[in-house]
């Protein structure tokens, strides 16, 4: 999908809303749903067992969030640094803001 098709319209708060919606759906399918379907199909007996324990999730999440935050606010050659309002918006829009507290989910 060419980026130029989404450029120039649908801006709100400095963000291209049509592009954000499109890339969010694409990323959700390719990074989350497809791997889950593949694991369920190829390894049916491991569907109900957890892949990682809470300690491993924490060890992976902390550096990921830290590096992602630093990269977001650091200017690069092809883009300016992220704005705090965009960062706060991402936190509120993100589907998972932390553990649900219910291990059955």
Q: Which pLDDT does position 105 carry in this prediction?
A: 45
Residue that wins the pLDDT comparison between 105 and 53? 53
Cα angle value 88/92/98 (rounded, 5°): 110
DSSP letter assigned to residue 16: E
Residue 103 has pLDDT above 50, yes or no: no
Structure tokens, 3: 């980026």
The predicted-structure confidence for 5-38, as pLDDT tens digits, reads as follows: 656 677 887 777 888 888 888 888 888 888 888 8
φ/ψ region of 96 (left if φ > 0, alpha if ψ in -120 to 50, else beta) reads beta
pTM of the prediction? Answer: 0.48
Q: Which of 20, 14, 29, 25 is nearest to 6 (CA)?
A: 20
């Amino acid at each position: 999908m060419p980026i130029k098709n989404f450029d120039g319209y649908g801006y709100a708060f400095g963000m291209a809303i049509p592009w954000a919606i499109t890339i969010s759906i694409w990323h959700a399918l390719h990074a989350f749903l497809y791997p889950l379907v593949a694991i369920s199909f190829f390894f049916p007996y491991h569907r109900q067992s957890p892949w990682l324990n809470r300690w491993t999730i924490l060890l992976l999440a902390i550096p990921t969030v830290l590096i992602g935050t630093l990269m977001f606010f650091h200017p690069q050659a092809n883009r300016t640094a992220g704005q705090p309002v965009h960062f706060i918006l991402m936190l509120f829009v993100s589907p998972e803001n932390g553990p649900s507290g219910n291990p059955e989910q």
